[in-house]
Amino acid sequence: MLLPILTFGQIPPNYYTSVSGLTGIPLFNGLHFIIDNHTVIPVSSLWSAFEKTDAKPNGKVWDIYGYVPSGPQNYEYTFVTMQCGNPLIESDCFDIEYTWPQNWFNSVSGPNSDLFHIYPSDGFVNSKRGDYPFGTVLTPTYTSLNWSKMGNCGDAGYMGVVFEPINDIKGDIARSYFYMSTRYDVESASWGNSPATNKSTILPWQLTVLMTWHHGDPVSAKEIARNDSIYYLFQHNRNPFIDHPEYADSIWSAYVGLHESELDVKENYSIYPNPTDNGKFHIAGSSVNNKIEIMNILGELVYREANETKISDIDLSSFPNGVYIVNIRTKYAKHSYKLVNSNN
């Protein structure tokens, strides 16, 4: 495919015009609609896509868990011929690394082939990482040849095993997670939870780690070129946090350093009257720009709105009397309430 040379390294004109001037959750929502509905490539195409998105200047595989930023490489892989089977040691072969593990999103179509979080990596190190979250390793129980590490977490808010890549890769992974959380915000109802995520929402402890990595490892020329390749050759959407690193601070900085127990304090809501007054009630909260969904006892969605004020007036007078569940979803938590609808 022939591409205009001048387009590479440049954001397409007007790509982010619709979010100009937005901050916080409105920015998050606006970015979602920009990068939503991308062209989904088959999982079987990932191997060949890597040849366009993850080739070193010498044509070898840019392996995120084997790459050495300076000095001689410990090993390098050739595309196609060195794809993985069953690696016995590091340097046997390269594999497909889902930085957001497939188990966390139940391997559903879309994210299972989304190149913005999928990279080639050494197969043996990939198997060591498994489904562990990313974080700061306190005492390594395993160290790869390029000094990627695995061991107990030293970050506040989590005490389990984590995987820590080298510094030159940390920002790439952080911006991959920011993309995933934004791209799949609406589509993640069927996803599972993990020690680091709740569906597509990044938990506060993990977010704190990723924001630190985002700032400590700025966007590189390699990321910019990869962003362009994915946009022009494959998915036709972009990672906004590579194009505009400041977007991450605008959306998530208020939550960095929080613990999960603090979210209920930061995001406090009340529903009144309950039972409703002839089907009418109010939701008052400490946060704006949340999503309100109401389900009947069969689990069917009967009402949805995006609230942009601290008080929302809702009318269920056209719905039968009975018990409903009101879910108020913000970027970092879901608050659920039982509501009795009364149309007397």
Q: How far lies 85's CA from each of 124, 127, 128, in Å?
A: 10, 12, 15
Q: Tell whether 199 and 296 lie within a shared domain.
A: no
176 domain residue, yes or no = yes
Q: Tell whether 216 and 318 lie within a shared domain.
A: no
- Supply the DSSP symbol for 134: B
Q: How far lies 317's CA from each of 191, 311, 312, 330, in Å?
A: 33, 19, 16, 26
Q: Does the predicted model carry a pTM greater than 0.75?
A: yes
Q: Which of 233-247, 273-287, 326-340 has the lowest mean pLDDT?
A: 326-340
- Supply the DSSP symbol for 278: T
- Contact between 41 and 234 (Cβ < 8 Å): yes
Query: Which tokens go with 229?
Result: 């390749």
Q: Tell whether 323 and 248 lie within a shared domain.
A: no
Q: How far is residue 303's CA from residue 316's CA, in Å, rounded to a whole number?
A: 9
Q: How far is residue 164's CA from residue 136's CA, in Å, rounded to a whole number?
A: 6
Chosen domain end from 255, 289, 306: 255
261 domain residue, yes or no = no
Quote the pLDDT of residue 261.
Answer: 67
Quote the pLDDT of residue 61.
Answer: 98
Q: Tell whether 22 and 152 lie within a shared domain.
A: yes
User: pLDDT category, 241, cuts 50, 70, 90?
Assistant: very high
Q: How far is residue 294's CA from residue 319's CA, in Å, rounded to a whole number?
A: 11
191 domain residue, yes or no = yes
Query: Which strand (E) or helix (H) includes residue 169?
Result: helix 167-183
User: pLDDT category, 229, cuts 50, 70, 90?
Assistant: very high
Q: At what angle do helices 221-229 and 167-183 cross, to 10 degrees?
A: 30
171 domain residue, yes or no = yes
Task: Check whether 285 has a pLDDT greater than 80.
Answer: no
- Supply the DSSP symbol for 335: E
**pLDDT, tens only, 24-53:** 888 998 999 999 999 999 999 999 999 999
Q: What is the mean pLDDT of residues 186-197?
A: 92
**pLDDT, tens only, 129-183:** 999 999 999 999 999 999 999 999 999 999 999 999 999 999 999 999 999 999 9
Q: Tell whether 173 and 201 lie within a shared domain.
A: yes
User: pLDDT category, 257, cuts 50, 70, 90?
Assistant: confident
User: pLDDT category, 4, cuts 50, 70, 90?
Assistant: very low
Q: Tell whether 223 and 333 lie within a shared domain.
A: no
Chosen domain end from 202, 230, 255: 255
Q: Tell whether 237 and 273 lie within a shared domain.
A: no
Q: How far is residue 239's CA from residue 227's CA, in Å, rounded to a whole number?
A: 7
| Among 62, 51, 41, CA closest to 237 | 41
Radius of gyration for the alpha carbons in the chain, expressed in angstroms and rounded: 22
22 domain residue, yes or no = yes
Q: Would you mind telling me the total number of residues written for the chain in this entry?
A: 344
Q: Tell whether 216 and 277 lie within a shared domain.
A: no
Q: What is the DSSP string of 13-61?
A: TTTTGGGTT--HHHHHHHHHHHH-SPPPPPGGGHHHHHHHHSB-TTSSB
Number of domains in the chain: 2
- 167 phi, psi to nearest 5 deg: -60, -35
Q: Which of 54-63, 93-102, 184-193 has the lowest mean pLDDT?
A: 184-193
Over the chain, what is the mean pLDDT?
A: 91
- Contact between 227 and 239 (Cβ < 8 Å): yes
Q: How far lies 39's CA from each of 2, 62, 183, 270, in Å?
A: 19, 24, 13, 41
Quote the pLDDT of residue 266.
Answer: 65
- Contact between 286 and 266 (Cβ < 8 Å): yes
- Supply the DSSP symbol for 267: S
Which domain does 56 fall in, by range?
Answer: 5-255
Chosen domain end from 255, 281, 313: 255
Query: Which tokens go with 30?
Result: 């606006």
Q: Which residue has the higher pLDDT, 214 or 344?
A: 214
- Contact between 312 and 323 (Cβ < 8 Å): no
Q: What angle do CA 176, 202, 305 make, to 5 degrees?
A: 105
CATH code, domain carrying 283: 2.60.40.3080
- 62 phi, psi to nearest 5 deg: -90, 90
Q: What is the DSSP string of 191-233?
A: --B-SSEETTEEPHHHHHHHHHHHHHS---HHHHHHHHHIIII
Quote the pLDDT of residue 9.
Answer: 63
Tabulate helix, strand, coil % of the chain (nearest 5). Answer: 30, 25, 45
* Start-to-end C-alpha separation, the chain: 66
Q: Tell whether 112 and 147 lie within a shared domain.
A: yes
Q: Tell whether 222 and 310 lie within a shared domain.
A: no
Q: What is the mean pLDDT of residues 313-324?
A: 91
- Contact between 82 and 50 (Cβ < 8 Å): no
